[in-house]
Amino acid sequence: MLLCLFLVGRAQAACTVSATGINFGVYDTFAVTPLDSTGSITVSCDRNPPTDVTVAIGPSGTSGGFTPRMMGQASRPGRLNYNLFTNASRNVIWGDGTGGTATVFLRKINRNHPETATIYGRIPPLQSVASGSYSDRLTVTITP
């Protein structure tokens, strides 16, 4: 009796994501220039050899979309438009690759070599909004 087995498998890398949120500080409704700030996403994976990953940031939890994303107030209906970008020029919206958005590709990540990507945030000028705190919740997805 001849028995041949061909087994094919692929090991998944276990990765962790940590983020430094973007704190825009105080927004001046009369300022004629946008308010910019930065944050970061760091990815570390436990795999050797290193793995490459794509990092996507989902739509706004407040508006449900990418253009614009919106921050909301906890107890009021106020909304403040903003967006996140992949570059310092702030002309490529960081999203999930749909609707004109782009993702970020990080290369050769392992536990000894985490990679960090900068998130470039911008609030457009001259928005008439109520005073108070604004926030949004986003989902970050990494795909090998």
For residues 83 and 96, is the Cβ–Cβ distance under 8 A? Answer: no
In angstroms, the CA 47 to CA 37 distance is 33
Share of the chain above pLDDT 70, in %: 91
Kindly report the CATH class assigned to 15-143: mainly beta
Question: If you average pLDDT over residues 77-90, what whole number do you get?
Answer: 96
Position 118 pLDDT exceeds 60: yes
Is there a contact between 39 and 20 (Cβ–Cβ < 8 Å)? Answer: yes
Quick one: how many helices (H) and strands (E) in the chain?
0, 8
Please choose, from the candidates 28, 41, 32, the residue with its C-alpha nearest in 3D space to the C-alpha of residue 114. Answer: 41
Q: Model-level pTM?
A: 0.88
- 3 pLDDT higher than 50: no
pLDDT band at 86 (very low <50, low <70, confident <90, very high): very high
pLDDT in tens, 50-71: 889 999 999 999 999 999 999 9
Looking at residue 13, its pLDDT comes to: 60
Q: Which of 5-9, 56-60, 108-112 has the lowest mean pLDDT?
A: 5-9
In the chain, where the domains are located: 15-143
Q: Are 127 and 63 in contact (CB under 8 A)?
A: no
